[in-house]
Amino acid sequence: MNVTLTDVHRSFGKNKAVDGVSLELGPGVFGLLGPNGAGKTSLLRVLATVLPPSSGEIALLGRDPRMSAARRDIRRRLGYLPQNLGYYPSFTVVEFIEYFALLKEMPTSAVPKAVAAAVERVDLGPKAKAKLRTLSGGMLRRVGIAQAIVNNPDLLLLDEPTAGLDPEQRVQFRSLMRSLGENATVIASTHLVEDVGAACSEVALMSAGKIVFRGTPGELTARGEGHSVGDAPLERGYSAVLTEARS
Amino acid sequence: MTTTEVLKPPAAPAGSMRPISAGIRLTWLHLRTRRVPAGLLALAVCGALLRAALHWHWTFNSGPYAQQVPMIIEAGAAAVIAVTVHTPFGETEGSAGRYLPYLRLLAAIGLTGLAILALQLGAVGENLNEGVTVLARTVVGFTGLGLLCSLITGGLLAWTLPMGYMTFCQYALLEAWTAPWTWPVRPAADHGAWICSCAVFAAGLSLFTILGPRSRLSDNS
Amino acid sequence: MSALTMPLPGTARALRLELKRNAVPYLLPLLAAVFYFNTLRTADGFPPVWTLRASVISAHMLFEFSAFAGGLAAWAGSREGRRKTLDLVATTSRAAWARLSIALAGTLCWLLLAFLAGVALLYGRTAFQATWGGPPLWPVFVGAAGVTVVSVIGFACGVFFPGRFTAPLVAIGTLLLYQAGMHAAQSLEPGQAAYALLSPADAPPIVDAGIYHHVPPDRAVVQVMLMAGIAVGLLGALGLAPDLRRLATARSLASVRGAFARGDSWLLRTIAVVLITCGAGMAATAVSLAGTAQPDTIAGGWEIPALHSSAVDRSLPAAQACTSLNVAGSAFQVCVHKAFSFDLKEVAAALKPVIAEIAGLPGAPVGASEVASISGGQTVTSGMAGHPPVFTFTADRVGLMFGQFLGMPDPAAWRAGFQMGLLDAFLTSQPGAGHPAGPTRSGAAQQAVENALLTAVGTSPSELGGGQMLNGRPNAATSAAISAATRRFLALSASARRAWLAAHLSALRAGTITPAQIP
């Protein structure tokens, strides 16, 4: 298992952002759904070793992130795309990705090839030497994805990865996620249920800091039978589960 | 529906703001986005520094060199005003309506006045060599430079030109230059210095009001 | 993509990125303009003497660089906060300290490069003009240390307080510290707070500093030690930056434990604490050493016993440039130190007409020579020395005029200064005294004779701007008597003046002659 969470809690004052989440995940693409404020981003930040849990046990890639040496090893094998991507406007695409490749302590000799491969995988080859300030929002998102995958991570955490991407790029990105998920654990937090349906082998639905559903997209769709809210089967399943969780 | 009903604006719904209070609210929100409250604190720090410098004699008590340290602090106050012009919103704000230039103008003039007030309060009871008039003239001129600089560098780096010009004026002070564009080192009665300082401020304020500081979507703080 | 294939180590590649994308180069034109108007023009106003020209590094260059270095470094340090990349970079494996150090190094490289380029330009111009000596290095070390410490201070402020006001407030804070240090250093008296010695800002040294005696590096050493200590300590504090940030927002013991659980390894934290301790120790040592400073009894300035080397107290080998004047059939040699040989012709030209007036008279000098302005820790004034007497003067003082060798803002007044200095010494010193007697206060008769001789050689006494030596302030009657005596003595022929002086010089020097007795 690449990810093992046991009764993890994370609070911000009185707000319980993550309220007793337990998960075990191996290689594959795992979708994380939920309404705004459900705790998806907080959970991802805990998994990304940015936030410590308030309580509970975590093991990432078989290591305990509380130990600094283990945490360092996890971060070398981790890729993270936050919801709000910060960047340095004067950097070019290649420089930005290279910078993060170096921060992730990739072998120096491997950096150039890895950066080039990441740029190609997100289809930004023609814009490789463009400065980030000249890129559109969707392109910036792809740069963010590129920096997350440059080190071929074993654990890839993506928060709203397809925000700003056009439909064609979303299709390409789902294909990328599936290929990455063959060997790594990919966790994608998203509002777009069609991304989940198309790319994820398993999905969890969070509400008020708890996981209220875990299963395959097909099982989520089945939960929506007879439910009227939603334009697509997966959406109906989504809203049916949420309604049940809130009642 | 009659023409009258079309032309006449609909009645305001219950609980909506009156125009004056809406204007005050808008101004307050605008000032908060520019971190003006923190800027006022920074100006108060400048006033305190001036008081400390005069009280503990960090510089010469009289003569031309007495202007050295006050000039640094006056440039610092202008630099604080310059960085408050930075907008965190970029184009979003620029396309939002017609009030932005007035808000910019109001903020710049208000902060300049408050900066002069803060520094003068710091100098109360102490011997400020050339008095409040030269202090005001220096702050006004340096602020104009900062506003002009913001058109090129953006607000966050707009402090660089006032600082650079101040170091140039330190040399002018030592060499006793009399050119009007060295207004920080000229005596209070120098009309040319007044004209120069006010002209720079007017130019900076006008261009800043009309064009606003340079901003990009990527700039946020 | 050929740049990516260069086989550089990871840290070097990251540093290269920082150097490429740093904000400092965009502001170099402004810095260059300020450097030209402030530092370079000030240096050009000094004579081409290495020590004098080098003094502008601390007195001017450091000031203008501080204005920018602190602010730009604060800008660089606040980058992760401003650009909202804190979370993103926190998930990378490279230590936060390493990451911050690379950003700091990139900014510092540009600033030091600009600083050293300025020094190279300053020293290059001086090398073409100087006639003696070589470039002093301690001012460069002090300046570089100053730029470094200001940059580290600014960067640390930016890291811990990534707000928009940090950069300008850091800029004026460092300038105020500098200016306060300058003021304290210039008004420093023995026994006052020695911390003022630690400020690199200071007034220019005496004109012949480093020419007759070594400039002891003691003060420079403690300044570099203090600044290095502060820089090292702050560098260590940067290593604890992530922990300190998290601790600032921790609300419970669990949060505190969590804060420590997320940071760099305990080894790095230990190293950070060691650096902070070492830096603080170094700075404290510098402060305590400065507290032991004593006035230098050899060359002026200050020495610190624990750092002072006796080798520095040895005089530098004499190096004189001389010219010989033919005055009334005899040779009169005028000598200055080689460092001032550019002024030798003007000195000789100034003295020649006066020598012609007094040549052959009792006690008339047979030569003129520049000597060190500080000897045995005491200020040397101009006068007559030796037997036969030689008119001695210093680069710092000629008669009542100060800093004659600093330049010639008014050539007529400059010439008059030398002429007056010679006549002051000639008319007040006793022959055979064997000791450079400083210019003593003249009596009225001496002043009248001096004024007449100056006028006779074409120099108006008013050129001197009222710098005449008199016992106290003369009243109106005395001034009138002096003026009348001057006119009468001037009306005599040159031979008559010489004859009268030959007969009455001793009495004149003894002060027993009144203006009424002057023919």
Query: Per residue in A14-29, pLDDT tens?
Result: 888 999 999 999 999 9
Instruction: Determine, for residues B216 and A132 on separate chains, whether the beta-carbon distance falls below 8 Å.
Output: no
Which of C47, C180, C170, C39 lies closest to C115 in space, CA to CA?
Answer: C39
Query: Residues B155, B87: contact at Cβ < 8 Å?
Result: yes
Closest-CA residue of chain C to B220: C82
- The whole domain housing C33 covers 7-313
> Is residue C359 in a domain?
yes
Whole-number Cα distances in Å, C244 to B49, C48, C241, C400: 27, 51, 5, 61
Q: Is the pLDDT of residue A50 over 70?
A: yes
Give, as one character, the DSSP assignment of residue A13. T
Comparing CA positions, the residue from C89, C241, C162 lying closest to residue A96 is C89
In this predicted structure, the answer to whether residue C259 has a pLDDT above a threshold of 70 is: no
Question: A71: part of which helix (H) or strand (E)?
Answer: helix A68-76
First to last CA, chain B: 49
Burial class (CB in 10 A: 0-12, 13-18, 19+), C41: middle
Provide φ and ψ at C284, rounded to 5°. -65, -35
Residue C14: closest CA among C81, C120, C100: C100
What does the angle CA A81 – CA A82 – CA A88 come to, to the nearest 5 degrees? 85
Q: How many CB pairs under 8 A join A and B?
A: 8
Please say which residue of C313, C335, C363 terminates a domain.
C313
Q: Are residues C171 and C216 in the same domain?
A: yes
Cα distances (angstroms) measured from residue C191 to each of A68, C187, C188, C307: 53, 12, 8, 19
Q: Which residue has the higher pLDDT, B29 or C1?
A: B29
Residues of A in contact with B219 (CB under 8 A): 89
- Is A160 inside any structural domain? yes
Whether the pLDDT of residue C470 is over 60: the answer is no
Does some domain include residue A179?
yes
Average pLDDT (C285-299) is 86
* A247: exposed, middle or buried (Cβ count in 10 Å: 0-12, 13-18, 19+): exposed
* Interface B-C: count of C-beta contacts within 8 A: 107
Beta carbons of B216 and A87 less than 8 Å apart: no
CB C218 within 8 A of CB C303: yes
Residue C371's DSSP bridge partners are C394
Mean pLDDT for chain C overall = 85
Name the amino acid, one letter, at C408: M
Q: Which domain holds residue A112?
A: 86-152
Show the tokens assigned to A143.
Answer: 């740069």
Give the DSSP letter of residue C187: T
Task: With H, G, I as helix, E, B as strand and everything else as coil, classify residue C157.
Answer: helix
Alpha helices in C336-410 (DSSP H): 344-358
Q: Are B122 and B47 in contact (CB under 8 A)?
A: yes
Between strands C330-337 and C320-327, the pairing is antiparallel
Question: Are residues C269 and C348 part of one domain?
Answer: no
What are the tokens at C453?
Answer: 């001789």
Per-domain boundaries in chain B: 20-211
Q: Are residues C381 and C267 in the same domain?
A: no
Q: How far apart, in whole angstroms, are the C-alpha atoms of residue C497 and residue C357? A: 9
Tens digits of per-residue pLDDT, C102-125? 999 999 999 999 999 999 999 999
Distance CA A9, CA A46 (A): 10
- The whole-number average pLDDT for the span B159-169 is 92
Q: Which whole number is the average pLDDT over A142-154?
A: 93
- Same domain, yes or no, for C308 and C428? no
Over its C-alpha atoms, chain B yields an Rg (Å, rounded) of 20
Number of other residues whose CB lies within 10 A of the CB of residue C488? 15
Q: Which pLDDT belongs to residue B3?
A: 46
Contacts of C90 (CB under 8 A, 6+ apart): A49, A50, C96, C242, C262
Side by side, the strands of the sheet bearing A155-159 are: A78-81, A155-159, A185-189, A28-33, A202-207, A210-215
Please identify, among C313, C329, C344, the residue that sits at the C-terminal boundary of a domain.
C313
Closest listed residue to residue C209, CA positions, set C342, C64, C35, C53: C53
Q: Which of C109, C118, C107, C102 is CA-nearest to residue C72? A: C107
Look at B11 and C227; give whichever has higher pLDDT.
C227
**Residue C195 has what pLDDT?**
65
Structure-block tokens of residue B163:
């600082």
Please name the residues between 175 and 214 in chain B that touch chain C, using a CB distance below 8 Å: 175
Highest mean pLDDT among B48-62, C182-196, C335-349, C405-419: C335-349
* CB-CB contact of A182 with A154 (8 Å): no
**Cβ-based neighbours of A42, under 8 Å, separated by 6 or more:** A10, A12, A17, A18, A51, A209
> Is A245 domain-assigned?
no
3-class SS of residue C405:
helix
According to the model, what pLDDT value does residue B113 have?
96
Number of Cβ within 10 Å of residue B202's Cβ equals 12
Kind and range of the H or E run holding A72: helix A68-76
Query: What number of other Cβ atoms are within 10 A of residue A28's Cβ?
Result: 18
Paired with A21 in beta bridges are A8
Residue A47 lies in a domain: yes
Inform me whether the C-beta atom of residue C26 falls under 8 Å from chain A C-beta atoms: no
Please tell me whether residues C79 and C175 are part of one structural domain. Answer: yes
- At residue B9, the pLDDT reads 47
- Amino acid code (one letter) for C16: R
| Tens-digit pLDDT profile for residues C373-431 | 888 777 888 888 888 899 999 888 887 777 778 877 788 888 888 998 899 889 887 66
Predicted confidence band at C367 (pLDDT cuts at 50, 70, 90)? very high
Of the residues A75, A108, A120, A158, the best mutation for testing chain C's interface (the one with the most C CB atoms within 10 Å of its CB) is A108
CB contact under 8 A, C163 and B35: yes
- pLDDT of B14 strictly over 70: no
**C395 shares its domain with C275:** no
C398 by DSSP, 3-state: which? strand
Mean predicted confidence (pLDDT) in A107-133: 92
Rg (CA), chain A: 18
Domain assignment present for residue C467? The answer is yes
Both tokens of C37, joined, read: 């108007």
SS (H, E, C) chain B: CCHHHHHCCCCCCCCCCCHHHHHHHHHHHHHHHCCHHHHHHHHHHHHHHHHHHHHCCCCCCCCHHHHHHHHHHHHHHHHHHHHHCCCCCCHHHHCCCCCHHHHHHHHHHHHHHHHHHHHHHHHCCCCCCCHHHHHHHHHHHHHHHHHHHHHHHCHHHCCHHHHHHHHHHHHHHHCCCCCCCCHHHCCCCCHHHHHHHHHHHHHHHHHHHHHCCCCCCCCCC
Q: Is the pLDDT of residue A233 over 70?
A: yes
Tell me what pLDDT residue C333 has.
Answer: 92
CA distance B170 to chain C (A): 8
- Residue pair A93/A135 in contact (Cβ under 8 Å)? The answer is yes
Same domain, A46 and A164: yes
Judge whether C2 lies within some domain.
Answer: no
Decide: helix, strand or coil at residue C392. Answer: strand
Closest-CA residue of chain B to C63 = B167
pLDDT > 90? residue C154: yes
CA pair distance A74, A68, nearest whole angstrom: 10
> DSSP letters of C321-345?
EEEEEEETTEEEEEEEEGGGGGGHH
Chain A interface mutation, best of C11, C21, C93, highest count of A Cβ atoms under 10 Å:
C93
**Does a structural domain hold residue C268?**
yes
Q: How confident is the model at residue A66 (pLDDT cuts 50, 70, 90)?
A: confident
pLDDT, position A115:
94
Please tell me which chains touch A, using 3 or more CB pairs under 8 Å as the contact test: B, C
pLDDT surpassing 70 at residue C439: no
A73 and A159 belong to one structural domain = yes
Strands (E), C206-247: none
Question: CA A198, CA A171: separation in Å to the nearest integer?
Answer: 9
Distance CA C210, CA C299 (A): 9
In sequence order, the 6+-apart residues with CB closer than 8 A to the CB of B175 are C41
| Whether residue A181 is found in the same domain as residue A148 | no
What DSSP letter does each residue of A98-136 carry, written as one string?
HHHHHHTT--GGGHHHHHHHHHHHTT-GGGTTSBGGGS-
Q: What is the 3-state secondary structure (H, E, C) of C36-85?
A: HHHHHHHHHHCCCCHHHHHHHHHHHHHHHHHHHHHHHHHHHHCHHHHCCC
Please count the structural domains in chain A.
2
Contact residues, chain C, for A98 at CB < 8 Å = 4, 13, 17
Region of B126 (left: φ > 0; alpha: ψ -120 to 50; beta: rest) is beta
C203 touches chain B (CB under 8 A): no
Question: Which DSSP state fits C173?
Answer: H
C232 and C153 in a common domain:
yes
The answer to whether A81 touches A50, Cβ cutoff 8 Å, is no
Give the nearest partner residue to C168 out of B60, B79, B167, using CB atoms.
Answer: B79
Query: Looking at residue C462, what is its pLDDT?
Result: 61
Domain termination residue (choose one: C246, C280, C313) = C313
Q: The pTM is what?
A: 0.85
CB contact (8 A) between residue C92 and residue A91:
no
Contact C87 A104 (CB under 8 A): no
What is the band of A195 on the pLDDT scale with cuts at 50, 70, 90? confident
At residue C120, the pLDDT reads: 97
In a domain, A33, yes or no: yes
Decide if A82 and C83 are in contact by the 8 Å CB cutoff. no
As a whole number of angstroms, the distance between CA A100 and CA C365 comes to 79
Q: Count of CB atoms within 10 A of residue C357's CB?
A: 23
**What strands lie across the sheet with A3-12, from one edge to the other?**
A15-25, A3-12, A55-60
- How many C-beta neighbours within 10 Å does residue C95 have? 20
What integer pLDDT is reported at residue B147 of this predicted model? 96
Give me chain B's average pLDDT, please. 84
Does C306 map to a domain? yes
CB atoms within 10 A of CB C352: 16
Is there a single domain that holds both residue A120 and residue A190?
Answer: no
Beta bridge partners of A24: A4
Q: Which residue has the higher pLDDT, C95 or C275?
A: C275
Structure ipTM: 0.86
Q: How many structural domains are present in chain C?
A: 2
- Compute the distance between CA of residue C498 and CA of residue C509 in angstroms, rounded to an integer: 15
Looking at the structure, tell me whether residues C208 and C177 fall in a common domain: yes
Taking CB atoms and an 8 Å cutoff, what residues of chain C touch B174?
42
Pair A160, A71 in one domain: yes
Q: Output the pLDDT for position C466.
A: 42
pLDDT of B119 reads 94
Q: C294-295 and A210-215: which strand pairing?
A: unpaired
Judge if the upstream peptide bond of residue B19 is cis by omega within 30 degrees of 0: no
